[in-house]
Structure 1
């Protein structure tokens, strides 16, 4: 009886440790993304100060994007969520998601942060 209790306890401890490792990986990924966004915000601030302007990049450096995709990318660079972008442009969140997917494909990126970084780099 004691052996099966010990085995069950070992399994529970192992499961908890595995879960902790997975949470640690997920947390590390989130922290990396936040770090990228903070760096983007600092770059935006410094770029605006250096140019004597508070205007933020709008992603217009990509001729392959449609006018609406440029608008969406501009809001993305400013940190807008899909909901905020949809409200600002008077379109649905689903349409924003479609625009995001098209932007990612056309820019050759996999996520919002990479798209924002690419937009910022195009303005240098």
Structure 2
């Protein structure tokens, strides 16, 4: 059993906080990539989805722009050469795996995949996590480093971060679906126990506004918005914003 250091737990806690921070669908996987890199030092973190034919759909990365749209056809043509491909894509193993777990690195360095795609970026070592994500299917979270391998402690941290990523994606997709519904009417019987201010805050929430944006439109601080939300949750008998929206839109608690 790997024993993590105090510093590892501090970085993990910071990463978890960022994972659960609000992010719209377009920024979600970029934010998740940043969170993973915060927990585990790497040159890049990249989330990609795969369809049934194995084609790659890029979801997000950190830093942004390291890989361009023209790079992915090349990656797709040679991805089967990656030592982790059978375990991740065919066997669908869901624990964090390192390139060095499956082959000697000099062998990997002779592949077309490495020399055409990763060598120009000096990315030599990978750790990849396979994830089954709501509405996205099978997704990989790939970390890459230059000239240094990932440790067993890195593997354990990524394993601990995995369920938080899955919950964050599920939460974001639920919010996105709820926000496509019409805003709640203030006179609904469900809202009769709310004050006028709380009803206003909940209506703005149903339109997809963040706490900061609600505060700006209402002329109150973000902290006051959060206090109103806690009162709303208590009165509606829920524990989070997704469940509150579900109650208002007749979708049930999350």
Which of 214, 224, 229 is residue 85 of structure 1 equivalent to?
214
**Which residue pairs with 2:203 in the alignment?**
74
Unmatched tracts of structure 1, length 5 or more: 1-11, 49-55
1:23, distance to aligned residue in structure 2 (A) = 1.8
Distance of 1:82 and 1:58 partners within structure 2: 20
Deviations 1:38-71 (A, max 9, x none): 22134x1xxx5xxxxxxx2245421110011000
Distance of 1:27 and 1:121 partners within structure 2: 27
Distance of 1:115 and 1:109 partners within structure 2: 6
Deviations 1:63-100 (A, max 9, x none): 11001100000011111111100000111111111100
Distance verdict in 2 for CA 1:86–1:68, change over 3 Å: same
Moved runs in structure 1, 4+ residues, more than 4 A?
Answer: none
Distance of 2:186 and 2:239 partners within structure 1: 17
Tell whether 2:239 aligns with 1:104: no
Show the 5 A alignment for 1:1-124: 13-42=151-180, 44=181, 48=182, 56-61=183-188, 62-121=191-250
Which structure has greater strand proportion? Answer: 2
Residue pair 1:59, 1:119 contacting (<8 A) in 2 also: no
Which structure has greater helix proportion? Answer: 1
1:25, distance to aligned residue in structure 2 (A) = 1.0
Distance of 1:114 and 1:87 partners within structure 2: 23
TM-score, length of structure 1 as denominator length: 0.73
Residue pair 1:58, 1:73 contacting (<8 A) in 2 also: no
TM-score, length of structure 2 as denominator length: 0.37
How many correspondences in the alignment?
A: 100
1:21, distance to aligned residue in structure 2 (A) = 1.3
**Which residue pairs with 1:4 in the alignment?**
none
Distance of 1:72 and 1:27 partners within structure 2: 28
Distance of 1:60 and 1:82 partners within structure 2: 23
